[in-house]
Structure 1
């Protein structure tokens, strides 16, 4: 590995993270953790806190706090696990689905604007490389 390419990647990731998070409040009413949790539940169905923690490689206590905030806002609700009366899963509510949709549409519009001068091949390559990079965290 060449040191220069690693330095370029490292600083560009830091700049990207700063720019993405500094503008999140301008995009909608959800914070990043709420968006990701609601997206996961919406895309893959109801899930327990443990499964969500494993998916995002976070502590159960962190995800428990985040899901409690979703419940408090009415974006998700607990549903009992039929096989274990003590356990529960979370499902997205209509209110949560609406917020998720609005937030995602605003983010998509922002990304489209940022990439409007890129060719479709460049956007496809960038998406593929981001996917590959994010999957390295799983391994």
Structure 2
């Protein structure tokens, strides 16, 4: 890999994080922070999950995910489902209210992304999505 390309990627990632942080701190219509959005999205897309599975998915420690999931449970966005084989274990399942909040937040996020990419071609958007997915998968 060429050093200049890597320097460009490194710098542009830093700029991207700055922009996303700025947007996130100015989120008037979002009721879910990033961690809540990602946890709800994971549970919605893949079904109920325990704290350990969620922690493994996001490469976080169990106490962090447990705290985040408890906050979602307190808001009524997820509920606990007991494990039929192990009475001590449980999984989190998304509630109807959680689905509603997730869909509303996703629509707002999509609107912002759509606005930023309005001058991009379909091919550019598709390629960018593919490359971003590929990059994100390198962290697993």
Which category describes the TM-score, using the shorter chain as reference length?
Answer: over 0.9
Give the alignment's TM-score, normalised by structure 1. Answer: 0.96
Q: Secondary structure at the match of 1:78?
A: strand
Q: Where does structure 2 lack aligned partners over 5 or more consecutive residues?
A: none
Mapping of residues 109-120 of structure 1, within 5 Å: 109-120=111-122
Q: 1:27, 1:107 within 8 Å by CA — same for their partners in 2?
A: no
Cα distance in 1 between the residues matched to 2:125 and 2:59: 28
Cα distance in 2 between the residues matched to 1:101 and 1:112: 16
Deviation at 1:22, TM superposition (A): 2.1
C-alpha deviations, 1:15-67, integer Å up to 9, x for none?
11121132122341100000000000000000000000000111011101110
Q: CA RMSD in A?
A: 0.9
Relative to structure 1, is the Cα distance of residues 18 and 45 closer, same or farther in structure 2, using a 3 angstrom cutoff?
A: same
Give the alignment's TM-score, normalised by structure 2. Answer: 0.95
Mapping of residues 59-74 of structure 1, within 5 Å: 59-74=61-76
Q: Where does structure 1 lack aligned partners over 5 or more consecutive residues?
A: none
Q: Secondary structure at the match of 1:84?
A: coil
**Runs of 4+ in structure 1 displaced over 3 angstroms?**
none
Q: Secondary structure at the match of 1:12?
A: helix
